[in-house]
Amino acid sequence: MKVGDIDTHGRWPLVGAAALAPVAAASLQNPALRPLAALLAHQTEEWVWPGEFLPWINQVVLKSDEPEFPLDQRAGLIINVGFGWVLSLSALAGASAAAPQAMLYVSHIGNAGLHVGWAIKNRKYDPGLATGALALLPVGILGLRKLAKDPEVSRGQLAAGAAAGLVFAAGMAPFFKARLRKKKDR
Protein backbone atom coordinates (compact mmCIF):
# COMPACT_ATOMS: atom_id res chain seq x y z
CA MET A 1 0.00 0.00 0.00
CA LYS A 2 1.38 3.39 -0.94
CA VAL A 3 1.09 6.32 1.46
CA GLY A 4 2.60 9.28 -0.31
CA ASP A 5 6.01 8.03 -1.35
CA ILE A 6 6.12 5.30 1.32
CA ASP A 7 5.30 1.69 0.47
CA THR A 8 4.09 0.22 3.76
CA HIS A 9 3.71 -3.29 2.28
CA GLY A 10 0.18 -3.65 3.60
CA ARG A 11 -2.37 -1.96 5.86
CA TRP A 12 -1.35 -3.47 9.19
CA PRO A 13 1.75 -1.20 9.50
CA LEU A 14 -0.52 1.84 9.30
CA VAL A 15 -2.79 0.42 12.01
CA GLY A 16 0.26 -0.19 14.21
CA ALA A 17 1.67 3.28 13.54
CA ALA A 18 -1.69 4.87 14.36
CA ALA A 19 -1.90 2.85 17.58
CA LEU A 20 1.63 3.78 18.68
CA ALA A 21 0.88 7.13 20.36
CA PRO A 22 -2.19 5.99 22.35
CA VAL A 23 -0.53 2.70 23.39
CA ALA A 24 2.68 4.51 24.40
CA ALA A 25 0.65 7.02 26.42
CA ALA A 26 -1.34 4.24 28.09
CA SER A 27 1.88 2.38 28.90
CA LEU A 28 2.86 5.23 31.23
CA GLN A 29 -0.05 4.21 33.47
CA ASN A 30 0.04 0.47 32.70
CA PRO A 31 3.59 -0.94 32.39
CA ALA A 32 2.16 -4.18 30.93
CA LEU A 33 1.59 -2.23 27.70
CA ARG A 34 5.30 -1.33 27.33
CA PRO A 35 6.16 -4.44 25.30
CA LEU A 36 3.42 -3.56 22.80
CA ALA A 37 4.48 0.11 22.69
CA ALA A 38 8.10 -0.91 22.03
CA LEU A 39 7.03 -3.31 19.29
CA LEU A 40 4.73 -0.78 17.62
CA ALA A 41 7.54 1.78 17.63
CA HIS A 42 9.89 -0.78 16.09
CA GLN A 43 7.41 -1.86 13.45
CA THR A 44 6.68 1.77 12.60
CA GLU A 45 10.38 2.41 12.02
CA GLU A 46 10.72 -0.73 9.91
CA TRP A 47 7.53 -0.56 7.85
CA VAL A 48 6.27 3.06 7.80
CA TRP A 49 8.88 5.68 8.63
CA PRO A 50 11.51 5.59 7.39
CA GLY A 51 10.39 2.11 6.29
CA GLU A 52 12.05 0.00 3.61
CA PHE A 53 12.42 -3.05 5.87
CA LEU A 54 11.38 -5.63 3.25
CA PRO A 55 13.93 -4.55 0.63
CA TRP A 56 16.63 -4.31 3.31
CA ILE A 57 16.02 -7.71 4.90
CA ASN A 58 15.49 -9.49 1.57
CA GLN A 59 18.04 -7.92 -0.73
CA VAL A 60 20.74 -6.79 1.68
CA VAL A 61 20.63 -9.31 4.53
CA LEU A 62 19.26 -12.43 2.80
CA LYS A 63 20.84 -11.61 -0.60
CA SER A 64 17.67 -12.03 -2.64
CA ASP A 65 17.18 -10.50 -6.06
CA GLU A 66 13.66 -9.48 -5.06
CA PRO A 67 12.62 -6.80 -2.56
CA GLU A 68 9.61 -8.84 -1.37
CA PHE A 69 10.99 -12.38 -1.27
CA PRO A 70 11.66 -14.59 0.67
CA LEU A 71 10.06 -12.46 3.41
CA ASP A 72 6.86 -11.24 1.81
CA GLN A 73 3.89 -9.16 2.94
CA ARG A 74 1.94 -12.19 4.17
CA ALA A 75 4.86 -13.45 6.27
CA GLY A 76 5.33 -9.91 7.61
CA LEU A 77 1.70 -9.81 8.70
CA ILE A 78 1.89 -13.23 10.39
CA ILE A 79 5.15 -12.48 12.19
CA ASN A 80 4.38 -8.93 13.25
CA VAL A 81 0.69 -9.12 14.04
CA GLY A 82 0.06 -12.82 14.61
CA PHE A 83 3.09 -13.33 16.81
CA GLY A 84 4.26 -9.85 17.79
CA TRP A 85 1.04 -8.16 18.80
CA VAL A 86 -0.45 -11.27 20.39
CA LEU A 87 2.69 -12.07 22.41
CA SER A 88 2.97 -8.42 23.44
CA LEU A 89 -0.58 -8.48 24.77
CA SER A 90 0.28 -11.55 26.86
CA ALA A 91 2.01 -9.16 29.27
CA LEU A 92 -1.47 -8.03 30.34
CA ALA A 93 -2.10 -11.52 31.76
CA GLY A 94 0.75 -11.28 34.27
CA ALA A 95 2.54 -14.34 35.64
CA SER A 96 -0.04 -16.74 34.20
CA ALA A 97 1.35 -15.98 30.73
CA ALA A 98 5.04 -16.10 31.64
CA ALA A 99 6.01 -18.47 28.83
CA PRO A 100 4.64 -16.30 25.99
CA GLN A 101 6.16 -13.24 27.62
CA ALA A 102 9.57 -14.91 27.88
CA MET A 103 9.27 -15.87 24.22
CA LEU A 104 8.50 -12.26 23.36
CA TYR A 105 11.35 -10.82 25.42
CA VAL A 106 13.95 -13.22 24.02
CA SER A 107 12.76 -12.53 20.47
CA HIS A 108 12.96 -8.77 21.20
CA ILE A 109 16.59 -9.21 22.27
CA GLY A 110 17.33 -11.31 19.18
CA ASN A 111 15.65 -8.77 16.90
CA ALA A 112 17.64 -5.94 18.46
CA GLY A 113 20.79 -8.05 18.05
CA LEU A 114 20.11 -8.46 14.34
CA HIS A 115 19.70 -4.73 13.76
CA VAL A 116 22.53 -3.55 16.01
CA GLY A 117 24.93 -6.28 14.87
CA TRP A 118 24.31 -5.56 11.19
CA ALA A 119 24.69 -1.80 11.72
CA ILE A 120 27.98 -2.22 13.58
CA LYS A 121 29.36 -4.67 11.01
CA ASN A 122 28.35 -2.49 8.06
CA ARG A 123 28.66 0.93 9.73
CA LYS A 124 25.28 1.89 8.35
CA TYR A 125 21.76 2.56 9.55
CA ASP A 126 19.20 -0.15 8.93
CA PRO A 127 15.39 0.09 9.22
CA GLY A 128 14.76 -0.91 12.83
CA LEU A 129 18.14 0.02 14.34
CA ALA A 130 17.03 2.92 16.53
CA THR A 131 13.98 1.26 18.08
CA GLY A 132 15.73 -2.11 18.24
CA ALA A 133 18.45 -0.60 20.42
CA LEU A 134 16.34 1.91 22.35
CA ALA A 135 13.04 0.04 22.77
CA LEU A 136 13.21 -3.70 22.08
CA LEU A 137 16.51 -4.38 23.82
CA PRO A 138 15.70 -2.68 27.15
CA VAL A 139 12.12 -4.00 27.19
CA GLY A 140 13.43 -7.52 26.48
CA ILE A 141 16.14 -7.42 29.16
CA LEU A 142 13.96 -5.78 31.82
CA GLY A 143 11.02 -8.04 31.00
CA LEU A 144 13.08 -11.21 31.38
CA ARG A 145 14.60 -9.88 34.59
CA LYS A 146 11.14 -9.14 36.02
CA LEU A 147 9.87 -12.61 35.09
CA ALA A 148 12.94 -14.25 36.64
CA LYS A 149 12.33 -12.41 39.93
CA ASP A 150 8.58 -13.09 40.06
CA PRO A 151 7.86 -15.85 42.63
CA GLU A 152 4.68 -16.78 40.74
CA VAL A 153 6.66 -17.68 37.59
CA SER A 154 7.96 -21.22 37.48
CA ARG A 155 11.44 -21.91 36.12
CA GLY A 156 9.78 -24.30 33.65
CA GLN A 157 7.55 -21.57 32.23
CA LEU A 158 10.49 -19.21 31.94
CA ALA A 159 12.74 -21.83 30.33
CA ALA A 160 10.07 -22.97 27.86
CA GLY A 161 9.28 -19.41 26.79
CA ALA A 162 12.95 -18.45 26.51
CA ALA A 163 13.68 -21.56 24.43
CA ALA A 164 10.74 -20.80 22.14
CA GLY A 165 11.94 -17.20 21.76
CA LEU A 166 15.44 -18.37 20.93
CA VAL A 167 14.16 -20.81 18.31
CA PHE A 168 11.88 -18.13 16.86
CA ALA A 169 14.56 -15.43 16.73
CA ALA A 170 17.44 -17.64 15.62
CA GLY A 171 15.32 -19.66 13.21
CA MET A 172 14.03 -16.75 11.13
CA ALA A 173 17.08 -16.20 8.92
CA PRO A 174 17.70 -19.91 8.20
CA PHE A 175 14.00 -20.42 7.42
CA PHE A 176 13.90 -17.56 4.92
CA LYS A 177 17.29 -18.48 3.42
CA ALA A 178 15.98 -22.02 2.83
CA ARG A 179 12.87 -20.55 1.19
CA LEU A 180 15.13 -18.47 -1.06
CA ARG A 181 17.32 -21.47 -1.99
CA LYS A 182 14.25 -23.55 -2.76
CA LYS A 183 13.02 -20.91 -5.21
CA LYS A 184 16.44 -20.62 -6.85
CA ASP A 185 16.67 -24.41 -7.26
CA ARG A 186 13.44 -24.51 -9.29
Q: How many residues does the chain have?
A: 186
Contact assessment for residue 126 and residue 56, using Cβ atoms and an 8 Å cutoff = yes
Q: 137-149 and 98-122 are packed helices; what angle lies between their axes, rounded to 10 degrees?
A: 150
Please state, as a whole number, how many other Cβ atoms lie within 10 Å of the Cβ of residue 170. 15
Residue 152: Cβ within 10 Å count: 10
Task: List the pLDDT tens digit at each of the 186 positions of the chain.
Answer: 554 456 667 788 999 999 999 999 999 999 999 999 999 999 999 999 998 999 999 999 999 999 999 999 899 999 999 999 999 999 999 999 999 999 999 999 999 999 999 999 999 999 999 999 999 999 999 999 999 999 999 999 999 999 999 999 999 989 998 988 888 777
Measuring CA to CA, which residue among 62, 80, 66, 61 is closest to residue 17?
80
Q: What is the pLDDT of residue 6?
A: 60
Query: Cα(102)–Cα(87) distance, rounded to whole angstroms?
Result: 9
Tens digits of per-residue pLDDT, 86-100?
999 999 999 999 999
Domain residue limits at 11 = 2-185
* 8 Å CB contact between 143 and 105: yes
The pLDDT score that the predictor gives to residue 10 is 74
Bridge partner residues of 2 (DSSP): 7
- Give the residue from 158, 59, 45 showing the smallest Cα distance to 104: 158
pLDDT at 182: 86
Interval 133-171: pLDDT, tens: 999 999 999 999 999 999 999 999 999 999 999 999 999
- What predicted TM-score, i.e. pTM, was given to this entire model? 0.92
Domain total for the chain? 1
